Structure 1
Amino acid sequence: MKTVAKLGHKCSGSWDVNNCGRPLGIRFDRDGYLIVADSYLGIYKVDCESSGQVSNLVHKNAVIEGKVARIFNGVAPAKDGRIYYTVTSTNYAFDEALGEMLGAHWMLSCL
């Protein structure tokens, strides 16, 4: 196994997800870049083949339809280059997910 990239900062432990993140969705785009939805950190593009360079596409504090995205969930790169992604919550962080399961709305967005 080989690590190709790291998102976020050094972790103090598995509980430190606000700093080190928690990737939930990954897909390759048409150009071979890995697109990652990290529940805490946002949407990223990773060059797995050569440099391992990581580019942030959607910041963790992105405002979508007037609300801050709290849980980035999945990604779906399209053939035309756009990247669709889901935001599971604008109310709760991943570690507060029980509140989300009890009643918030989900969103589908596009870059």
Structure 2
Amino acid sequence: IIMMATTAIISYKMGLDRALTVTFFPTIILAWTIERMSILWEEEGVHEVLVQGGGSLLVAVLSYLLMSNRLVEHLTFNFPELTLSLLGIILVLGRYTGYRLSELYRFRDLDKQQ
């Protein structure tokens, strides 16, 4: 982060506006991931770091391949409301940590008894 800030300041002083458009978001995500992995290394060991790091890398590569698909690019750019359907799928599958819609169907008999 310090290196990016230094680069931004030097490029501003030199009049290079292009370097100022670099966002800090990827750097923050990378720093957060490194911190999480170092804590995991201390608490769980090397094997767990490799498993979770490999899983994160696999998800990142698959996500990149999916998002670079021309059809997906077209659909998400022209129909941004389709992104809400992903939220709906997450709710139904139960990966959302709040109230799960699939539980309404699962426990429907209990509701009828009351």
Q: TM-score range by the shorter chain?
A: under 0.3
- Structure having the higher helix fraction is 2
The normalised TM-score by structure 1 is 0.22
Tell me which of the two structures has the higher relative contact order, counting C-alpha pairs closer than 8 angstroms and 6 or more residues apart.
1
Greater gyration radius: 2
- Structure having the higher strand fraction is 1
